[in-house]
Every structure is written in C-alpha cells, then in structure tokens.
Chains A and B, each alone.
Chain A
C-alpha cells in the first residue's frame, strides 16, 4: 500500500476542523483525483500526505511506514520519496529555473553535491529533459521571477518529475494554465506515473479534467470523503451533491503573484 489513512482527523491551530474520519487506501501505481468545493479540505489532505501537517487523530501510513512515528533521520529519507507539487510553487524569485528543478534531488544527494550544484548546475541535461516534457526547455536559464504563474507551476512539476518521487502529490497543479496546456500537463503527470508505476494523487477544481485523466475520483466535502468511485461511475447526481450550494464553474483566481522583492538599500 502506498497510502493508508485510518480514521484521520485534523484540527488546525485556530480550532477549525479541516478533516474528520478520513478513510483512504491507495495502492501502488494508482492514479486518483481529489475534487470538491473550495475549502473542503483538499489542500489540507494533500499537505497531510506530504507530511507537512501532522494528523490530530487516526493513523497515517505512507510507503509502508508511519512518518510521525519514525525518528527524524528516517522521516527525512521517507520525504525524499514523496514529491509535492505546490499550487503556487514557493521558488525564490532570483533562483534560476535550472537550479529550482535540480533542487528536486536535494533529498537524495549528499551535502557536498548539493553545494557544488549551487555553484555550477551538475545535471542541466536532466533539468532540460524534465522541463522539455512540459514545453519549457527554453526557460532553463531564466530567473523564476521572470516566469508567469502557469510557467512557475510547470517548473514546480518539473522539479517533482526530476525528483523521481514514488508518491506524487499535486495540489491544484494546473490552476494557472489555460485548458489546453492544463490537459497536456495532466497528461504528462499521468504518463510519468504510469510508466514508472508510481502513485499519483492530484487535487483539481476542474471536474472535467479530473474525469478525463484519472481512473479514480475521490470527492471531498466539509472535511469528509463524500465518495470514492471509479471515474466512469461518477454520476451527475453525485457531483451535484458534492458541489451543492456551490457554483459549479465559479471563476477561480489564478495563483497569487509573488510579492515584489524589495531590497532596502541603506544610505548614510
């Protein structure tokens, strides 16, 4: 089993219950989409699976071990096998794309190699290959603050492709892309997972994309799993219930632009 959640609940520090009684089992090589209205807990669920958040109750098993029962060193090694695609990838504005992508293997490289790579990219071919699959190879040596929101999202995906993670978690990975590019990018992620036999979990707000690309669909509503069905068995009624009182196709804001980088220059 790649993922097993048993009775998992999560209460945020401010007392808000984000997830409750979540039961989810995902086998190796499965590809599933998580859909649901805004604020349903999709992002929280993915951050929980990425070991960014700790469950308040229940059991979380990833790749055969319980991350929060492991000593820190072993948890670090487990994390190197998990790849998280952020909705707005947190990349330093001045970092070059090649460095941002190669940073995907920092968990596997010894420290000397990480430091050497900072001075001179050690595997530009690997980064170019990962970016090339997302149609972004020309931007290899550009700075991250010169890219658009959709391009940044693809850099974040390229980093996880380069990481060769065994469990790919993607939080709204295509929210800032146009429909054609979004479909192409999801195709790349799915082919990657299929060809290497690894597991892919992606949260999506576009139901049509989820149904078109993923064999298994999990609906989340108000912190609970509303349904967990093969894509062909998802009925319009189930979707209507999932998004009840929500506008099905509400416009979503693109990923927020990173705050302008200001350097205070002291003068005397």
Chain B
C-alpha cells in the first residue's frame, strides 16, 4: 500500500515536470542551435573591451559612492530602528508591546527590498532617497528580529545586580545588558551591510539610484561596453566592503 503510494507520488511529480515544460514553452533547441549560440557570442563580445574613458569612469565613481552611501545609511538607520523595536520585541515593555513590535518587524521583513524600493520610488520619487528608505525598512525587520533574539539570550543577572543597587532601567541596560550584547549587534549589522551593498546595486533597476540604475540604463540602450565597466565596479565595491567589514569584525567583535 505504502509502496503504491510512493510510486503514485513519483509519477505525479514526473507529470508535473512534463506539464511545466509544455506549459512554459521552454525552447532548448533554440538555445543550443548554431544561430542561437552565434547571437549569444555576439552579445557577449559587445561587453569587451569595457569602456574606461575618463568621463564614464567619473560617472561610475559618483554612482559607486551613491550606492555605498545608500547601503551604509540604510543599514545605520535600520540598526537604530531595529534596536528601538527589538527592545519591546524582546518583551521588555510587556506582552502587548512585545506582540505589536514582533508584528511590525515581521511585516517589514516579509516584504522584499525590491518591493519596498518600488513603493518608495512611488512615494519619494526616483533616486537614492527611495533606495535608502527601502533598504532601511527591510533591514529594520531583519535586524530587529536578530537583535531581539540576542537580547533574549543575554544573561539578566548583571542588569538585575544594578537594579538591586538602586540603578534605573536605562542604567541597568547600558551597564548590565549592553556590554554583553553589543559585539553581537555589531556583527549582525556588518553582515547586513554586506548584504545591502549587493542589494543596493540591484535596487537601481526600479529607479532607486546608484550603480544599478547606471547598469539598467546602459543595458537598455545596448551599451554593453559601458555596462561591463559598471559590473566591474560593482564587483570591486562588494569585495572592498566584504574586506572592510571582515576587518571591523576582527577588530571589534571576535575579541
């Protein structure tokens, strides 16, 4: 009986795969035909040599700085907002505030950056403004949740000891809780910054500024040589930020 059910399941999956191919109309013969391959090679060749003219490089430099600023500001805003929401979400202000904060964090987190960016472009207009807000909103949800978990896992005794000696809530938090959690908070924030620099280069596709917008424009105009430079710039930017945040982690978090 169980074996028959397994066969039936396997058959159903195979059927679904076959129906998907037919339904989506995937054309693999066109992909591997001589003409198709020649067209692809032609398109790819258009990316070389990349455009290294001074004017283009200056434009790229500006856009890179814009992307860098977008990701850094977005992450910073998110870290501050995330901490502000993580405190109630960790249950420090009662059950009602905790449930409400967790709901807000989940809502922010479950909407992807690209959707936030599309919404923000409508709300705040084209440009880096929208990109920064989009990154800040989504990352607030992610960091808020991670921060709340870190706060919940921190031992409470140091803060309790301050309260027993007459210290207030704020003093107990900054002297008893924060010294234990801030390395973790920094580690999470740096990690999200790495993610956001990559995301910031994509956000431009919906008009939210930075390198992504340049890439989108050059690709739309079939200027592959210019697009190649933008892609190189993105690669360098991501590598540089990874190295920088790795160094910051070594310095402040690991020990």
Q: Is the CB of B254 within 8 A of A111?
A: no
Which residues in B have their C-beta under 8 angstroms from that of A107?
Answer: 165-167
What's the A-B contact tally at a CB cutoff of 8 Å?
Answer: 98
User: Among B36-44, B51-59, B77-85, B184-192, which stretch is in contact with chain A?
Assistant: B184-192
Chain A interface: which of B108-116, B152-160, B226-234? B152-160
Cα separation A201 to B172 with both chains bound (whole Å): 25
In the assembled complex, A163 has its CB within 8 A of some CB on chain B: yes
Distance of A167 Cα from B183 Cα, bound (Å): 36
Check B174–A108 contact: CB distance below 8 A.
Answer: no
Interface of B is mostly: helix
Cα of A163 to Cα of B164 in the assembled complex, Å: 12
Q: A92-B158, A106-B175, A118-B174 are in contact. Are A52 and B184 (CB under 8 A)?
A: no
Complex interface: chain A residues within 8 A of B188 (CB):
266
B66 within 8 A of A: no
Task: Establish whether residues A84 and B162, one from each chain, have CB atoms under 8 Å apart when the complex forms.
Answer: no
Assuming the A-B contacts A50-B164, A84-B165, A106-B167, are A91 and B158 also in contact, with contact meaning beta carbons closer than 8 angstroms in the complex?
yes
Residue A218 is within 8 A (CB to CB) of chain B in the complex: no
Known contacts A263-B183, A264-B187; A92/B176 CB under 8 A: yes
Q: Are A80 and B165 in contact, CB atoms less than 8 angstroms apart?
A: yes
Asked if B61 is at the interface (CB within 8 A of a chain A CB), the reply is no
A263, B153: Cα distance in complex, Å: 11
Given A114-B174, A265-B249, CB of A52 within 8 Å of CB of B160: yes
| A118 contacts B161, C-beta separation under 8 Å | no
Q: Are A268 and B191 in contact (CB under 8 A)?
A: yes
Number of B residues, CB within 8 Å of A: 30
Interface residue tally on A, bucketed by range = 35 or more
Closest to A76 in B: B166
Residues of A within 8 A of B184 (CB): 263-264
Contact between A79 and B165, CB atoms less than 8 A apart:
yes
Question: Known pairs A52-B160, A93-B180, A95-B175. 5 more at Cβ < 8 A?
Answer: A83-B165, A84-B164, A92-B175, A111-B168, A263-B187
Q: Which residues of B contact A (CB under 8 A)?
A: 155, 157-158, 160-168, 170-172, 174-176, 179-180, 183-184, 187-188, 191, 194-195, 249, 253-254
Name A residues whose Cβ lies closer than 8 Å to a Cβ of B: 50-52, 76-84, 86, 89-95, 99, 103-104, 106-109, 111, 114-115, 118, 159, 163, 165, 259, 261, 263-268
6 contacts between A and B (CB under 8 A): A52-B160, A52-B164, A90-B155, A115-B174, A263-B187, A263-B253
